[in-house]
Structure 1
Amino acid sequence: MNKIRKGDQVIVTTGRDKGKRGTVAERVDEQLLLVEGINVVKKHVKPNPLKGTTGGVIDKTMPIQQSNVALFNPATGKADRVGIKILADGKKVRVFKSSGEEVKA
């Protein structure tokens, strides 16, 4: 079970975007996440007349390691660690480590 999922609000904990907040757009693989507005780089692209794209410099969001982000806890307004708790009916849920509250997806 992934502790950080698509649609979660996260805060960057390390790197040049430290302290910024964004929403997880997609999971690239087991370790990498695409977060909207985070890790944006300039990319030079060639024109491709077959696809109808023009060349130039574009802004592109690159993946970031999930170890460099933490889930945003709206109750405290800060980053928080996440744990997994098994309920009485056998269902697994994500909980914030600081308060034990369930993460609202």
Structure 2
Amino acid sequence: MERVKKGDDVVVRSGKDAGKRGTVQRVLPRDNRVVVANANMVKRHVRPNPQAGVAGGIQEREAPMDLSKVNPYCRTCDRGVRVGIKTLEDRRKVRICRTCGESLDS
């Protein structure tokens, strides 16, 4: 089971964006990386492509960051937390907050 999933709210732990909260847009499990909205912004020089409707210029977009730099956000604790996995009676696995024990899965 994954520690972080697409659509999760996360808190950036270190780097230039430390303390920022954002939503996971993509998870890259092979590279152990995630793309977080409005974090790790980089500038890319893009050539114009009229067929695809792309205007040229300098675009700012999110770059993947290492999974170890983010912690899932717990609404109960109001901060980034470590994650545990608990098996329910009906054999479903859910992610839980290690601090308060609340489920992170809706």
Supply the distance in 2 between the matched residues of 1:95 and 1:86 (Cα, whole angstroms). 10
Q: What number of residue pairs does the alignment pair up?
A: 105
Supply the distance in 1 between the matched residues of 2:2 and 2:29 (Cα, whole angstroms). 11
Q: How does 1:51-70 map to 2 (within 5 A)?
A: 51-70=52-71
Runs of 4+ deviating beyond 6 Å: none
Letter in 2 for 1:82: V
Q: Per-residue displacement from partner, 1:32-82 (whole Å, max 9, x unpaired)?
A: 111111111111111223323221100111111111000111112111000
Supply the distance in 2 between the matched residues of 1:50 and 1:37 (Cα, whole angstroms). 28
Identity of aligned residues (%): 39
Supply the distance in 2 between the matched residues of 1:52 and 1:95 (Cα, whole angstroms). 44
Farther off after superposition, 59-68 or 43-52: 43-52
TM-score after normalising by structure 2 = 0.90
Deviation at 1:16, TM superposition (A): 0.6
Q: How does 1:17-96 map to 2 (within 5 A)?
A: 17-30=17-30, 31-96=32-97
Aligned to 1:97: 98
Partners of 2:94 and 2:105 within 8 A in 1: no
Q: Secondary structure at the match of 2:85?
A: strand
Q: Secondary structure at the match of 1:44?
A: strand
Q: Which runs of 5+ in 2 are unaligned?
A: none
Q: Secondary structure at the match of 1:67?
A: helix
Farther off after superposition, 5-14 or 46-55: 46-55
